[in-house]
Each structure stands twice: as structure tokens, then as C-alpha cells.
Amino acid sequence: MDSLRKDNGFLPVSVEDMRKEGIEQLDFVYVIGDAYVDHPSFGHAIISRVLQAHGYSVGIISQPDWKKADSIAALGRPRLGFLVSSGNMDSCVNHYSVSRKRRSTDAYTPGGQMGKRPDHAVVVYGNLIRRTYRDVPIILGGIEASLRRMAHYDYWTDSFKRSVLLDSQADLISYGMGEKSIVEIADALKSGIPVSDITFVAGTVYRTKDISGVYDGVKLPSYDEMKADKSFYAASFAVQNENMDFCTGKPLIEEYPRGVYVVQNPPQPPLTTQEMDDIYALPYMRTYHPSYEKMGGVPAIAEIKFSLISNRGCFGGCSFCALTFHQGRTVQARSHESILAEAETLIKDPDFKGYIHDVGGPTANFRHPSCQKQLTCGVCKKKQCLFPEPCKNLYVDHSDYLELLRKLRALPGVKKVFVRSGIRFDYLLADSDDTFFRELVQHHVSGQLKVAPEHISDVVLKRMGKPENKVYERFAAKYKQLNAELGKKQFLVPYLMSSHPGSTLKEAIELAEYLRDLGYMPEQVQDFYPTPSTFSTVMYYTGIDPRDMKPVYVCRNPHEKAMQRALIQYRNPANYDLVYEALTKAGRTDLIGFGKKCLIRPRKPQNPGRPDKRDENSKSNKSNKSNRRPLSGKGAKKKTIRNIHKKKNTMQKNGS
């Protein structure tokens, strides 16, 4: 790969840039919903640089005006095809909060401006391209296409949608991280193979009317069956999850009306350490395109500019996380040499102040596969590595990660190295050697360590795929002990989630009581957000847990969701009415009072003549004259005078 490397600055974004590079026609045009940021934390940058390293020319059309057909033709017709991605986030997650309210800013757009991409961006961009270039191959990629590659529930329209491959009129989806599959697709197109015949690439999804050539395929329930009966979708998702491994995964076949099939090939193999090193050593400019400077730059760069990615993949298995469906459960890691070389680049940046903000990935303390069998036998189909408790075959070792952090701390110019991406605390506790835990507390916490217990009710934690609450309590106690031993005053900041499937008002109140006993009031609470292709979203839509096909309580009512969220922040005066209602509805009025165990105090007694604003009958009280206090003194005198004048004027009008 190194022999093919080119360092030509930013990739072309205009015909003028193409002329400067001596390019008459690009091999690929990459259409993205984000601003163009040439940094390895952005998927479009990685895919473009990988293709460039293999000898292909790539141009970028960033955030085209989807209402104008000519916006897609800004770089002309590509020789091999269009690549399409919504960006680093699903476009609907980017646009809307969990309450479906429009967000005011977009960190992936110059100046943080909202509204520069459409909802369901890959579908809109695909159709825009197809109207202009009817016969040019279209390959979808990125998080949105990856997680919507098969039929899926769409929270924002509250509907069950087809694969985006069909709705976008694209030819292929490269799902997952895609570095290997995109090169194989490019080589096939270059060799003259029609895109309709590229059905053999791992990590891709294609459409066909003939499945006779699909070897050892598994037929999923049809789209019509799943749409008619939600339990079919739950069953389908369970099968999809069991086939997300490169060793054991089989082709999956989903039937649609009119004899159309969508076929998912097994995932691409995980990258070796050398392959990851090569990818992160490509000549990224490591910042946003200079044309955005006058608009204030791209806000998202601030979060990742001085952070280091050390791994990919996650065997944590949280139900609400889409990483299993995107990056897979097999952990892949870069070498120390690769990461240290990137750190040296950061240190030379004029804006570097001595602080490396993060060294991690989906889960910071995963630096190797969860067991020795995975690279040859694949991950287990029916078992999780950490849930409900650590597997007996789990390989627990923090020594490699600890050594990496020590090397980074020792670099000249580095004052502090923080770990801000997730720490899996149950994996940390499974390590009999607490050296890493001690050094984490001593050197790598910036006053607060953020962890994600998510809830304390074991009923809810089971549906979340998280360890029992007693595990978090052990972790919190150990963290407190180490801080005391090291003379540190650092705190735990637990991430908590309300309204996850399985959580009723009963479990929400249990969480509030737990926080009361801790004396902790979280500043922010995340309401469960049903994003595509997670176990939790399937539970939300179907009311069934795909893992055991048992019914699950789902909180869908916006008012009940507000009550569950308010209970976590019960001390906030603005939440009083919701907390009062929740406690009353759940039959827990014992928590309303003046005792130490009470969450809120009773309503203030109503002042005669001045109805309580919180009284549901206050409006009728205000309109009922019998409840008004009789006027006296100056008020009564003024009223009498007004009545005399009014009567006098009436008499004059009547000629009296």
C-alpha cells in the first residue's frame, strides 16, 4: 500500500481541483452528507484514501443541494461509480432529538449550520444520482446504509421500511467499516465486471431476482410477513445477529414483492494489525477543507483533533448499541508504533497544549479479541462474552493497553493522557491484576470518570445486556478506594437511561430511590433512542425480545416517558408535577412527605381565595366568582365609584 501512496493535499472538490491534479475523469465521486473532513475519524476520508492508495482517483461532493439535479454533476460522470454516505451519523439521528424535535445545530456542517442534508440522506442522494446518471453504479456505505441494509423499523416515521438498497435505487451496499470490500468492488468494476454481477464480495448487500447461486443461504421472513406480523421481524433480527461473524456467518436472503431478493453476504474479515496501521498511516490532512474556514470551520473536529483511535469492534454486547451490527464483535487493534507515530504528529500541531484527549475506541480497554478461539472459530452465536456474566473462556488482560498509555505519557511535550471513551467496568473487574485500574485513576482521569451502568434495576439491565447492579457497586467501591489510597478527589459520572424497554414506572422509581441514597443528581439523562438495527429498537417496535422471543414492556407514551425521565432528576423543581403524578400513579405516595426517604414534599396547602397553581381545578376556581376573595378597603371604594359612573352613563344614554 505504501508504494501507491500519493500526497496531493485534499481530494478534488471541484473541476478546477481536478484540472490541477491532471484528472480528466474521476474513477469515483463520493457524495457525503457531512462536510469534507480529511481525518481518519471520518469514514469518507478513510474510504477515499484507501482507494487512492490502491491507484484510484476520488473526488468529494459534500452536502449537495438535493433539490437541484445539477448539484450531483459538479465533478462530472465518474468512470467507475458513485459512493454515497450520509456521514458519520444517521441523518435522522443527526437532525432530531429522541422527542423528534429538530436539533438547532449540526456539528458535522460548516459553522454548525442545521439543514444542509436531507432526512434519510442515502435514499435521497441515491435517487438524485439515478435521475441524472441512469447507468452509473451506486455503492452505499457508512453508518446509515450499514444499519438500514435490511428491512428495519424507522423511529422518525414510525414505520417499517424496506432495505435502503431498494429505496435508494443503488446497486450495492458496503456495510461495516468497508476498507476491504470497497477495494474488491473497485477492482471488479475496473476489470469490466458489470455491477449486477458483483455478488461475491464479503461485507456487501446486493439485489437479485435469482437466488439459485446463493450457496448455503438462510432465508429470512419476507418483508410482507414482517410488516404484517412484528414477531417475524423479531425472529429475523435474531438470525441476522447470529450471522454477523466472518467465520460462521451465512448469506441472508430477504424476499420482497415482485420476485426481488436482497442478499447480505457474510461480513468482511477483521483487519490485521498491519492493515489497520497502513490505513491510519495514509496521508490525511487531519482537518476540514480550507473552504470552510470563512464559515467558522467544522465543529466536530474539536472532539477528535487530539484523540487517538487504538481499536475497533466491541464484544460488550449492549442491546441498545449498533456497533455489533456495524463494526462487529471481534476487536481489532493498531500497533503501539502506529499510535505513537500519530501522537508525534499531534504534538507538532501548533494548537496542541500537551493534552491527549482520548486513547480508545468503542470500548477503550478492549485491545484484543475476547478469547483465543475467535480468530479461527469466530464469535459464539448464542453466547455473549460478558453478559450475563463473563464467559469462562474470556481472556482478560490490560497489560498491552497499560504499556501503550505509559509510552504515550512519556512522550516529550505530553502533559496528560486522558481516557474518555467508554471503560467497560465489568471487564475491568474481571482482571485479577488491578495495576491498570490503579494507573487509570492516578494518571488518566480528568477529575471525573464517565461510565455507563445505564440503570440499577436488574430487570431492565437484563434487557439492556448489561451486568447486574451489584457489579457496578463493586466497581464504584473499588474506584473510591483507589482514589483514597492515591490521595485523589475524583468522581464517577454514571450515564443513565430512562424508558428503555423493560422499564416501567416501578423500575424508574427504584432508580430514583437509588440516586436518593447516593445523594447524586445527574445533570443529564438520556431517554432511550430507538436507532436502526439494535436489539433494543426491535424490542421497542415489536414488544418482543428477539433473544428469547418473550414479551417486553415498552414505554411508548410521551407523557410516561417524561415521567420516567423526571424521576431520575426528581430534585429539579421543574419536574415536581411529573414526579408527583408518577408516584401517585405507581402507588408510591409513601415517597411524598418530609421523611429522609421521601423524594418530594407534599403540595403546599391551598391558601383560601388563592388557588394553588398546580391544582388541576385552578382554572375553574379562577372563573368561579364564589371563590374570589371579597374586596375591602381602597379596592372596594374604587369598585363602588366605577359602578356609580357606569350607572350614571347608562342613564344618560337612555335619556333618564
Q: Which of helix, strand or coil describes residue 447?
A: coil
Which cell numbers hold the place of 202? Answer: 464479503
Domain ranges, residue 626: 605-641
Residue of 544, 534, 19 whose CA lies nearest to 314: 534
For the chain, the first-to-last Cα distance in angstroms comes to: 107
**Where residue 610 falls among pLDDT bands split at 50, 70, 90?**
low
**Where residue 375 falls among pLDDT bands split at 50, 70, 90?**
confident
337 Cα distance to chain centroid: 30
Residue of 113, 108, 76, 73 whose CA lies nearest to 91: 108
Asked which of 441, 467, 485 is the last residue of a domain, the reply is: 441
Crossing angle (nearest 10°) for helices 399-409 and 336-348: 30
Contact 174, 140 (CB under 8 A): yes
117 vs 621: CA distance, rounded Å: 50
Task: Read off the pTM.
Answer: 0.89
pLDDT digits (tens, 9 = 90+) for 316-367: 999 999 988 899 999 999 999 999 999 999 999 999 999 999 999 999 999 9
Per-residue model confidence (pLDDT) at position 650: 47
Pair (199, 50) in one structural domain = yes
632 Cα distance to chain centroid: 63
Q: With respect to residue 299, please indicate whether it lies within any of the assigned structural domains.
A: no
Pair (382, 527) in one structural domain = no
Pair (504, 597) in one structural domain = yes
380 vs 199: CA distance, rounded Å: 26
- Cβ neighbours of residue 599 closer than 8 Å, sequence gap 6 or more: 512, 513, 516, 567, 570, 579, 583, 591, 592
Pair (11, 121) in one structural domain = yes
Pair (613, 573) in one structural domain = no
Q: What is the largest CA-CA distance in the chain?
A: 110
465 vs 462: CA distance, rounded Å: 5
Q: Which of helix, strand or coil describes residue 184?
A: helix
- CATH number for position 317: 3.30.750.210
Contact 289, 10 (CB under 8 A): yes
**Where residue 19 falls among pLDDT bands split at 50, 70, 90?**
very high
Q: Is the pLDDT confidence value at 142 over 50? A: yes
**Where residue 604 falls among pLDDT bands split at 50, 70, 90?**
confident
pLDDT digits (tens, 9 = 90+) for 30-88: 999 999 999 999 999 999 999 999 999 999 999 999 999 999 999 999 999 999 999 99
Asked which of 441, 470, 496 is the last residue of a domain, the reply is: 441
Residue of 411, 156, 180, 172 whose CA lies nearest to 275: 180
* Sign of the CA dihedral running 379, 381, 383, 387: positive
Which residue in the block uniquely carries the three cell numbers 423499523? 153
Amino acid at 541: Y
Q: Is the pLDDT confidence value at 315 over 80? A: yes
Residue 489 region, left (φ>0) first, then alpha (ψ -120 to 50), else beta?
beta
Pair (38, 164) in one structural domain = yes
The Cα-based distances of 347 to 290, 350, 417 in angstroms read 21, 8, 12
Pair (543, 467) in one structural domain = yes
Contact 285, 9 (CB under 8 A): yes
Per the structure, the count of domains in the chain is 4
Pair (501, 420) in one structural domain = no
Contact 343, 409 (CB under 8 A): no
Per-residue model confidence (pLDDT) at position 624: 42
Q: With respect to residue 515, please indicate whether it lies within any of the assigned structural domains.
A: yes
Q: Which of helix, strand or coil describes residue 549?
A: coil
Q: Which of helix, strand or coil describes residue 86?
A: coil
Pair (395, 488) in one structural domain = no
Residue of 284, 381, 369 whose CA lies nearest to 8: 284
42 vs 270: CA distance, rounded Å: 19
Count CA atoms closer than 13 A to 380's CA, side-chain side.
15
pLDDT digits (tens, 9 = 90+) for 193-239: 999 999 999 999 999 999 999 999 999 999 999 999 999 999 999 99
According to DSSP, residue 72 is labeled G
pLDDT digits (tens, 9 = 90+) for 183-194: 999 999 999 999
Q: Is the pLDDT confidence value at 642 over 90? A: no
According to DSSP, residue 592 is labeled B
Q: Please state the three-class secondary structure of 337-353 as a single string.
A: HHHHHHHHHHHHCCCCC
Residue 645 burial class via C-beta count within 10 angstroms: exposed 0-12, middle 13-18, buried 19 and up: exposed
Q: With respect to residue 597, please indicate whether it lies within any of the assigned structural domains.
A: yes
Other beta carbons within 10 angstroms of residue 400's beta carbon come to 14
Strands 448-454 and 491-498: parallel
pLDDT digits (tens, 9 = 90+) for 490-548: 999 999 999 999 999 999 999 999 999 999 888 888 999 999 999 999 999 999 999 99
Strands 172-174 and 204-208: antiparallel
Per-residue model confidence (pLDDT) at position 56: 98
Peptide bond into 388 cis (omega under 30): yes
515 vs 396: CA distance, rounded Å: 31
Q: What angle do CA 125, 129, 132 make, to 5 degrees?
A: 145
Per-residue model confidence (pLDDT) at position 284: 97
Q: With respect to residue 333, please indicate whether it lies within any of the assigned structural domains.
A: yes
Mean pLDDT of the chain: 91
Which cell numbers hold the place of 98? Answer: 429522541
Per-residue model confidence (pLDDT) at position 439: 97
Q: Which helix (H) or strand (E) holds 550?
A: strand 550-551
Q: Is the pLDDT confidence value at 105 over 60? A: yes
48 vs 138: CA distance, rounded Å: 15
% of the chain at pLDDT higher than 70? 91
Q: What angle do CA 517, 522, 523 make, to 5 degrees?
A: 155
Taken as a whole, the chain contains a residue count of 656
φ, ψ (nearest 5 deg) of residue 606: -70, 130
Pair (465, 374) in one structural domain = no
182 vs 175: CA distance, rounded Å: 10
Q: Kindly calculate the radius of gyration of the chain based on its CA atoms and give it in whole angstroms.
A: 29
Q: What angle do CA 108, 205, 63 make, to 5 degrees?
A: 20
Which residue in the block uniquely carries the three cell numbers 400513579? 585
**Where residue 643 falls among pLDDT bands split at 50, 70, 90?**
low
Q: With respect to residue 12, please indicate whether it lies within any of the assigned structural domains.
A: yes
Beta-ladder partners of 494: 451
pLDDT digits (tens, 9 = 90+) for 565-577: 999 999 999 999 9
Residue 409 burial class via C-beta count within 10 angstroms: exposed 0-12, middle 13-18, buried 19 and up: middle
Q: With respect to residue 277, please indicate whether it lies within any of the assigned structural domains.
A: no
Pair (485, 424) in one structural domain = no
- CATH number for position 136: 3.40.50.280
- CATH number for position 505: 3.30.750.200
Q: With respect to residue 284, please indicate whether it lies within any of the assigned structural domains.
A: no
34 vs 73: CA distance, rounded Å: 18
327 vs 307: CA distance, rounded Å: 19
Q: With respect to residue 397, please indicate whether it lies within any of the assigned structural domains.
A: yes
Pair (146, 34) in one structural domain = yes
pLDDT digits (tens, 9 = 90+) for 376-425: 888 998 899 999 999 999 999 999 999 999 999 999 999 999 999 889 99
**Where residue 652 falls among pLDDT bands split at 50, 70, 90?**
very low
Q: Is the pLDDT confidence value at 1 over 90? A: no
